[in-house]
Amino acid sequence: MPLGTLDRTAPTLFKHGPSALSRLALYSALALFLMVADARFHVTEPLRKAVATVLYPLQWLMLQPVEFAEKGAGYLQSLQAAQQGMDEAQKKMAQMSMRAGETDQLLRENAELRQLLELRQRLTTPALAAQVIYDTADPYTRRVMLDRGQLAGVEPGSPVVDAAGVLGQVTRVYPMLSEVTLLIDRDQAIPVLNLRTGARSVAYGDPVAGLGGGMELRFTPGNADVQEGDVLSTSGVDGLYPPGLPVARVVRVERRADSTFARIYCAPLAQVYGARHVMVLKPLVDELPPRPAPEPAAQKRGGRK
């Protein structure tokens, strides 16, 4: 081995230098000096700026997951809060819509009650206020149920009117309820008077007229003076309905050459499908004077002789 290639330095074991305690004291003094110098003279300020500039991209990159997590949590919280706010707003809108509907219904009922009060002031017949509860389930009849019955003084055959006119007649009476047959029922008939001409007739119910129900003047001669728009009222000749109550309006008159009678269709003035508050009148038969007693048969034979 050539002599120039040999390492002639002393082994590490035999090297001599400052001890560990001396190094600690030196480095501590240097650190204290640098802190005092930086606090007094800002010696390390340029170095700090340079290090901060160099480390900023790394810091920004390290902070991105944290910011992303915070933004994601905030987005989810905002989305949840927005969803809750929208649900609350929809509930409030639904409540306001219901209140608006109730207000409209109360206004309509108030108007109906005012009209009924005016009608009651015009009527001299005793009347009882009632409310329509529901329609009967029979599809072949046109009847409604009232919330007043026998305990309230309702009698069978009592006329029922609303603010616009005659609605029907009480046909069945229960202790707490009563059944009213509407004028458009096929089994219902009412004597009427033409206000324009003064002619009396009888109006029958026609549940299929106009697909919504109506009335028809039957057995009216083809040359009778009846025109569209004529208003019909109760004549009072039946001893049941008080005279002068509005009943219907003539909507169509058909005169055919092959028939002696005319086909006269009428529309009831009362709200047969929308009445809520009605008046139950006392039958007029209770106010009529009693019929005279028939003469005995002996007197009749004696008078003939």
Provide the token pair at 122: 């015009």
The pLDDT of residue 305 is 46
Question: What is the torsion angle, in degrees rounded to the nearest 10, for the CA atoms of residue 97, residue 101, residue 104 and residue 109?
Answer: -160
| Token pair of 162 as six digits | 């609303």
Q: What is the DSSP letter of 295?
A: P
Dihedral pair phi/psi, residue 138, rounded to 5°: -75, 115
The end-to-end CA distance of the chain, in Å, is 188
Mean pLDDT by 10 residues, the chain (305 residues): 56 64 85 80 74 76 78 76 80 70 65 64 74 84 90 91 90 92 91 91 83 83 90 87 90 87 91 86 68 62 52
Phi/psi at 75 (5° precision): -65, -45
Please give the pLDDT value at position 170: 94
pLDDT at 134: 87
Residue 107: per-residue pLDDT: 63
